[in-house]
A and B are shown apart, each in its own frame.
Chain A
């Protein structure tokens, strides 16, 4: 995915090194490339099967001799999914929760990442270690105290009870990953801005923020996914107000039976995967460079 940009000097270097033995290498490369294509097909197969099964008519999904194609694609499964009570509402709830978490955690993490990369202060290293340790906290184990906390603040059964915990859980990793992006902005720029008379606040929002924005988007993928994914909190905190439920709950309705409606499950899975996939494809370049940054530091 690093594409042409990544195939710079290192590549030619490698080429140069192996060119002496090129004739001996060629069959190997052919084998390697066949292996790569085989791997790509195998890895993509589950997703292909998911979309395929979503479009297959019910009879073909429940066939004992499944075939990897369909001659009469149908939208029946999608109709069943969208016809399900309030599915659209669940979808919107999911979007709303994930969207709020993404925006809020991006802004908060941006400020925190700026603090720990642009300033030297006592406890800085301690804080960084705390952010690292916070990532280790098993979210699911906190379901119990979180449940009581949400009950005590009266957020139970509302979307807020999904937004708040996910905000807390996605922050540490977001801060951790954003550090690299903030650090990449040259210090000289800040000095220049100050000389030009910009206040710190102005520098922060009008110069630093736009520069770090691509990194923010990449970081957001992780908050988005973990929030979008969540069914545990939705299951535990949204007890009586089903109108505040989210997409995974709708998916599990089709899944959690003795005889699952596989067409429906696959259609709902497709609907649920699609937004994430789109998000991913849009930001994947930054994602890779961002991870590189998070990893290298």
Chain B
């Protein structure tokens, strides 16, 4: 916030300067001709391409999503065989009456919570560990984390499935599990996906939190130690509070990403597991729409997800506002 404060004056100063510039150098007539107008409309001119793309390819589809969720929309309507009919909230009523929906919703929330918790714990613990080791071990951890981070979700998924493969995977050999199939049971399949998700998402948390710890000014830490604070006390009362904004951001990002997880579940459990035991909302919506052509039900699930994530976003903005931070 404080860093932002001088911006308005500076911007105003610039606008004023651009108004004067023609007298100094007649070459730039663009800025000269209509100084005030240009100052006012320039941001919108710059924003125009982004807004056009987002309106056409994001806002419009979201609107369509909401619309389809209120219609009767199946294969017949897609091919034009039957006219679409307005259902009102009928699709939602059908969805909420379906016990599978509630099961999937619960599984999604629990799974996302587990992933967020695992990611944050691993990321923060390793960030702290990084501050306690010398350059070489730190470089090794950073490099391997970078590798995991860069791995595309789809290849990460195939590799982890192979690692835990019942017949040819090394993990079962090392753990002596014989031909135990990880994807057969519901819990073990979720556990496998959980491991992959944590593996590919902890690096972001680790790197940001580590950068945050590094950014704590040395004088503050010194002052704390001069005042006789123990290391734990320093961490709890100095470092942790300074890290709070960073932790908030990575938590929210993790919540969003883990709630929307699709690729890992889809690839690792073969589209939602045996009899749909590993479905999460995102995969569930996709299966409803494209596997069973119930486009309106799939859209209704999409709307539910959208609203839940919107709720998370609002909480996030609230927290930001409460701290008096400006965007």
Q: Is the CB of B310 within 8 A of A133?
A: yes
Whether, in the assembled complex, B154 has its beta carbon less than 8 Å from a beta carbon of chain A, the answer is yes
The B contact surface, by secondary structure, is helix
Query: How many B residues touch the partner, as a band?
Result: 35 or more
Contact A40 to B144, CB < 8 A, known contacts A10-B216, A109-B50, A168-B57: yes
For window 34-63 of A, CB contacts with B under 8 Å fall at: 35-37, 39-41, 43-44, 46-47, 49-50, 53, 61-63
Tell me how many residues of A have a C-beta within 8 Å of chain B.
123
Instruction: Say whether B93 faces chain A, with CB atoms less than 8 Å apart.
Output: no
Q: In the complex, which residues of chain A have a beta carbon less than 8 angstroms from the beta carbon of B50?
A: 108-109, 111-112, 171, 175
Contacting pair B137 A200 (CB below 8 A)? no
A195 to B169, CA, bound (A): 67
Within 8 A of B (CB), among A110-168: 111-112, 114-116, 118-121, 124-125, 127-130, 132-146, 148-149, 164-165, 167-168
Q: Is A262 an interface residue (CB 8 A)?
A: yes
With A197-B21, A279-B150 already in contact, the answer to whether A10 and B290 are too (CB < 8 A) is: no
- Map CB proximity to A onto B83-112 as digits: 1 under 8 Å, 0 otherwise: 000000000000000000000000000000
The CB with the most chain A CB atoms within 10 A, among B21, B137, B221, B263, is that of B137
Which residue in chain A gives the minimum CB-CB distance to B289?
A: A144
Q: Which residues of B are in contact with A by a Cβ distance under 8 Å?
A: 6-8, 10-14, 17-18, 21, 24-25, 27-28, 30-31, 38, 40, 42-44, 46-47, 49-51, 53-54, 56-58, 60-62, 64-65, 68, 78, 126, 129-135, 137-156, 158-160, 162-163, 165, 167-170, 173, 199, 204, 207-208, 210-219, 221-222, 224-225, 231, 234, 245-246, 249-250, 256, 260, 262-263, 266-267, 282-283, 285-286, 289-290, 295, 298-299, 301-303, 305-306, 309-310, 312-313, 316-317, 326-327
Chain A interface residues toward B at CB < 8 A: 1-3, 6-7, 9-14, 16-18, 28-29, 32-33, 35-37, 39-41, 43-44, 46-47, 49-50, 53, 61-66, 68, 107-109, 111-112, 114-116, 118-121, 124-125, 127-130, 132-146, 148-149, 164-165, 167-169, 171-172, 175, 187, 190-191, 194-202, 225, 228-229, 231-232, 236, 248, 251-252, 255, 262, 265-266, 269-270, 272-273, 276-277, 279-281, 284, 288, 291-292, 294-297
